[in-house]
Structure 1
């Protein structure tokens, strides 16, 4: 056991969305699930909002974190991955939150601090490392989300195929049924990232860094309707990586 509790930074876009109360209430349930599962897994978890803090304060507040979870939210600002706005289904952007979370991912890579990116967080991981996004999935089959309904009703369940030799397969197996709601996806993965899961239509569903303990999943294991075992399993893997990183730092 570690000599002191492992600290987990759970980073969202913003704490409140008064302009979108229904969506905000739904996000609160997912953040609460992430925090609750983290506490049950032995973490001391702190909730932090990237927009509300900005890059400098977010880096300062997470400087002692043993691992980071970057949660979902709004579309990533297109200019950060070399694209333009005006695409179908374009949602709101928050460049302050984008830049703060990107700075956090880049520092985590330098320090080998474990990271789990979820949905938007998975996309932020790739953009932080120079990747691009597919700006809009033409998803007539409803594989990735249910269209034309409020966010809390848009989740859809589908299977993903996981690369058998990946770290993720060691956690979830070679296939998994996941719960998602998204209209964007990783296009070209960022530097050092390897695609380790895809949906039936070929969309990127998960990535891992080739040398750092960084993982991104496009789905929402923290959703109330998701498989109850998935998020605890992912957090347990993150804990294993955090313990290994703490041991190596002390050894050095």
Structure 2
């Protein structure tokens, strides 16, 4: 495989025996992201961080030209200095947390283009010393609770900052699909907020010098606007001068 065209798509795990419906829906999102990346010209390698662990995940992605970290379980609270026992807490994937945090830190150090989606967006923040809002509470507009998994996504607007280097292709307002009950709180080192929801929640962050972008929403969802996923995948081909 030509490393110059290799995109590593880093997911949490290959299977969730404890949550088959969730895993089936997650697999649809992964398949759509992979298909869009292939259509954009990437050679894709899917890496399951929980199954591979930190060292193998780093090895598998060592010479990749770009990285895409997709959604999944809540980041374990100990990685951002918080406690367990919060509302809506489910199973965690600590090996995936450790591996993906190390991956983000290396990407920033090397200037490797990286896009984080939902959990991947939160991993970027935590990897650089940021914290998370652990639960948005009942009635949040960012997901539908107590519904079948295929109806969990919520549609809402996000407002994009005019100074964003990596999100400018989406225009000032974007329609998004999301299904999160957590959000970025305190920013990690080197990060800037580049999009917010109407309620003020942080919806996208980018690094001020490295080509690293995180979005809280799911451009790979079947209900997402046409072309949005391709536009975000396009940020993974940003010129190396962006990281200077």
TM-score (ref. length: structure 2): 0.95
- 1:76 aligned to 2:75? yes
Q: Distance in 1 between matches of 2:135 and 2:47?
A: 28
Moved over 4 A (4+): none
1:56 counterpart residue number: 55
Q: CA RMSD in A?
A: 1.6
Structure 1: 5+ residue stretches without partners: none
1:19 counterpart residue number: 18
1:177 counterpart residue number: 175
1:106-144 deviation digits (Å, cap 9, x = unpaired): 00011100110000000000000000000001252x410
1:220 deviation in Å? Answer: 0.3
Q: How does 1:212-231 map to 2 (within 5 A)?
A: 212-231=210-229
1:5 deviation in Å? Answer: 4.7
The size of the alignment, in residue pairs, is 242
**147, 150, 153: which one aligns with 2:148:** 150
Q: Distance in 2 between matches of 1:132 and 1:17?
A: 26
Q: For 1:117, what is the secondary structure of its paired residue? A: strand
1:90 counterpart residue number: 89
1:20 deviation in Å? Answer: 1.1
Equivalent pair of 2:113/2:235 in contact (CA under 8 Å): no
1:160 counterpart residue number: 158
1:236 deviation in Å? Answer: 1.4
1:87 deviation in Å? Answer: 0.7
1:228 deviation in Å? Answer: 2.2
1:17 deviation in Å? Answer: 0.9
1:184 deviation in Å? Answer: 0.1
Q: Distance in 2 between matches of 1:150 and 1:11?
A: 26
Q: Distance in 1 between matches of 2:43 and 2:116?
A: 18
Equivalent pair of 2:47/2:57 in contact (CA under 8 Å): yes
TM-score (ref. length: structure 1): 0.92
1:61-95 deviation digits (Å, cap 9, x = unpaired): 00010110000000000010000001111121111
1:207 counterpart residue number: 205
Change (3 A) 1:248 1:147: closer
1:237 deviation in Å? Answer: 2.1
2:101 counterpart residue number: 102
Q: For 2:236, what is the secondary structure of its paired residue? A: helix
Equivalent pair of 2:167/2:232 in contact (CA under 8 Å): no
